[in-house]
Each structure stands twice: as structure tokens, then as C-alpha cells.
Amino acid sequence: MRDPLLISFCVSILLVAGCSRRIMIPDQGNKQIRKELAETGLMHDQYTGFALYDPVAHHMIYQINADKYFVPASNTKIFTLYTAVSLLPDSLPALEIGATTDQVFVRGTGNPAFLHPEFRAYQHPLSALIDTTKEVRLVSAHFRDKRFGDGWAWNDYPYGYQAEKSALPVYGNLVWFKKQGDSVSVLPGWYARFFTRHSDPELPALYRDEFTNSFSYDPDRLQDTVSRQIPFSYSDYEASQLLADTLGTEVNPSYESGPASFRPAYFLPLDTVYRQLMQHSDNFIAEQLMLASAHHHLGYMQTDTMIDYAKEHLFTDAPDELFWYDGSGLSRYNMFTPRTIVWVLERLAEKKSQQWIRDVFAEGGGSGTIRNWYAADRPYVYAKTGTLRNKHCLSGYLYTRKGRFLIFSFMHNNYPGSSHAVKVKMQRILEYIRDSF
């Protein structure tokens, strides 16, 4: 006789399982990859997930913990890249300009390349675009975000990898400090007046006060030749002064939204921005691309709203729910699964050519964050790294010696020590796949 309570329980379990988007997947697929993984010890030394996918056959070759969540670090930039490629045009204006009879209003679009030294080849004279015979006002009412993202480390404020977000980025929102012997140079030059010397051993050799743009350095503790980037504390006043310094005329902040219409100006190509994003893992560019996407598509800048929009319209069919909080991966709140990262990489490969992928992603043994890893006589790995303390991920595309084009995601969390040992073992696995498939 059947137990009605047992039947009810079983039905409930099936209903819950049917309502879940996530299908739990055990270690499965190619047995030799399983053997190689076991011999490296990767699956025992830390929490590791791996997915290897053939986009031509639409077949998962191998996966282990591919449905489990990991902190992705800068693998988050893959989601940012796909969002920007999907929503932004090929070239993006850095500025939008509106005018009245006696005033010119300038507002930023979030474009990270404006006046950025890494994009010097694409800069052009600003004075030709703005009528400096009128009063120039800087508008930022469309910026509704915060200077830092959710889950960022607040005490990383003086480090170049955590520049503040803004509507109108200038010089990457960084002060570019260079010491050559006894000579010191600062870019933008406007900040040179705020640099002093110190000899306080309790302070870092190069220091910025947290809430003001007061900089100091100890020349005795700095090498003869040193280049550093320090974020400045961003405000509408700071941006106005830097814009004024560039234009050669007074610029003042406007606390209103300005005229009814603005025209785009000062266009910069985005592929070169994407290359800097992916090859050098530029956090600032990632955050600004999310703001630029929001401004272009929503009419205002707010990262969490843009992420919600992207999740609803671009990532609806992803295998697993996205726990996504910023554009760069600085947030410790982000969590993705390896198979979802593979899914996004497949969508990107459908949208862009393989040549574009090779141009934009870091090349093993050749460029970017993997220039010292995965080297070969013929490049075979094009991927994005992601590293935070005790976390390292690598996701991207792999070309085999037999000519196959594969997609993979390797995610490692909670290992002790440095990532070097993890990379050595990961390289062995990827070389095996290159040679065997």
C-alpha cells in the first residue's frame, strides 16, 4: 500500500526541482581530462570549477563543478564587455554639448578614454568643439552613481586600480606621477601644486589623503626611476578645473540639467578601449563602460540599474542566475558559475569574429595579463584572467593543434598562498587539451 505522505513529499521535491533554473551537474565528460586533473591535484588543493565546451558541436566536452558559484574577480569584465558590445556603437562620444545664447553646457558620456594618456593617439583639440566666448558650464545631473562600487575595499582608495567613477572621466581619474632622479613630473600638471615632500616613515612613500587631493612623497624611499598612478578625489569642481586647464578658459559646475538638447562630440573608437579593458584588466575602463552603456541606453548613469537591465535583456537565457554587482570584478559580492561564463563567451563569439577575439583578448605568451603564461610556437589561448587574494580565474578561447576552436572557464577560489602553483597546473591541463583534441 502506498504511503500518501511519501507520495506528497516526492511530488513536492519534483515541483521544486522543476521550478529551479539550475540543473546540478556531476564530474562528467572526457575521462583523460579527469585523469590529468587528478594528477595535478587541482581538485584537492582548493575549490575549483572547470568547463570545456565545443561551440561548433554545441557539446560540453568536460565539466566539473561547472554549476557551482565562484567569486570571478576580473572575469566579471567578460560580462561588461558583452554588455558594452551589445549596447554601444563602434565609436563613442566623450562629450555632449548644449548651448544657449550666452552659455555652453558640457556633460560627459562616461567614455573612459577622454584625455587618457593610454589613448593619446585618439585625442584631438577640444577648443575647436566648444565656443569659449560663452560661459562654459559642466553638467553632471545625469550621474546617479557612487564613487566606488558595492563590495569594494574602501582602503584601496590610493591605488591606481581603484579610480573613482564619474560622468566625465579625465586622465582616467588618475594623477600620473613620475620620478626620474631628482626630477618629478605630474600629469595633469594642475595637480603639481598639491604635491609636497615628506619624511614620515609611518606614511607610504607615495601618499594621498583619503578625502582631499593632498599628495606627498618621500624621495629617499622611492627608486630613482618610478612611475605610479594615484586616483584623485573626484568632484565636479575638480573636473571643471581640469577641463578649464585644457580649454584655457574658466569652467564652472552646473547643478542643473542644462538645455533640452545636447549634441555628441569628441568621438573615440571603442575597440581600442575594449583591448585595454581585456588585455590589461583595466578596472576603471570596465566601470565607465557600464556607466556609458547606461547613459546611452537609459539616459542616466547608474551601475546597478544597468546591470539589472542587462540581466533582463541580455542574459535571460544564461544557465544560472547572475550575482553581479559591478563592472570590474573588484566587488567580492560577484558570483558566477563556469558554465555561465562559457555561455557568455559563446554569445560573444557569435556576435564578433575570431579575429576580433584574438585582437581584443590577452594572448598566451604574447600580450596582456597572460604574456608570461601559456606560451607556444603558435598562440593557442586567448583569455581573460581574474585575480583577487586567494582567487584566480581564467576564461576564454583555446585553439587545438587539430584546428578546433573551444571555449573554457577555469575558476579557483580559496587556495592558500600565491596563484603561481595554480597557474602551473592549469597550464598543464590547457596544453593537454591543445595537443589532444
What confidence tens digit (pLDDT) does each residue in 148-179 have? 999 999 999 999 999 999 999 999 999 999 99
| pTM summary value | 0.92
Assigned CATH topology for domain 22-85+289-436: Beta-lactamase (3.40.710)
- Under 8 Å between Cβ of 211 and 198: no
Which pLDDT score is estimated for 125? 87
Confidence label for 14 from pLDDT (cuts 50, 70 and 90): very low
Residue 8 burial by CB count (10 A; 0-12/13-18/19+): exposed, middle or buried?
A: exposed
Which pLDDT score is estimated for 26? 46
Which pLDDT score is estimated for 12? 42
Confidence label for 3 from pLDDT (cuts 50, 70 and 90): low
| Number of C-beta neighbours around residue 269 at 10 A | 13
Which pLDDT score is estimated for 46? 87
Which pLDDT score is estimated for 124? 86
pLDDT at 300 over 80: yes
Cβ neighbours of residue 213 closer than 8 Å, sequence gap 6 or more: 191, 194, 232, 233, 238
Which pLDDT score is estimated for 307? 98
Which pLDDT score is estimated for 29? 60
Cβ neighbours of residue 54 closer than 8 Å, sequence gap 6 or more: 60, 61, 404, 406, 407
Which pLDDT score is estimated for 42? 85
What pLDDT, in 10s, does the model give residues 203-252?
Answer: 999 999 999 999 999 999 999 999 999 999 999 999 999 999 999 999 99
More confident residue, 126 or 83: 83
Which pLDDT score is estimated for 240? 96
Mean pLDDT score, 381-403: 97
Query: To the nearest whole number, what is the mean pLDDT of the chain?
Result: 92
Percent of the chain surpassing pLDDT 90: 86
Report how far residue 28's alpha carbon sits from residue 88's, in angstroms, rounded to the nearest whole number.
38
Which pLDDT score is estimated for 255? 87
Which pLDDT score is estimated for 89? 96
pLDDT at 105 over 60: yes
pLDDT at 13 over 80: no
Residues 58-73 as b/e (b if ≥16 CB within 10 A, e otherwise) read eebbbbbbbbbbbbbb
What pLDDT, in 10s, does the model give residues 314-359?
Answer: 999 999 999 999 999 999 999 999 999 999 999 999 999 999 999 9
User: C-alpha distances in angstroms, 376 versus 166, 379, 435?
Assistant: 41, 6, 11
Structural domain boundaries of the chain?
A: 22-85+289-436, 93-267
Mean pLDDT score, 191-212: 95
What pLDDT, in 10s, does the model give residues 269-294?
Answer: 999 999 999 999 999 999 999 999 99
Residue count of the chain, please give it: 437
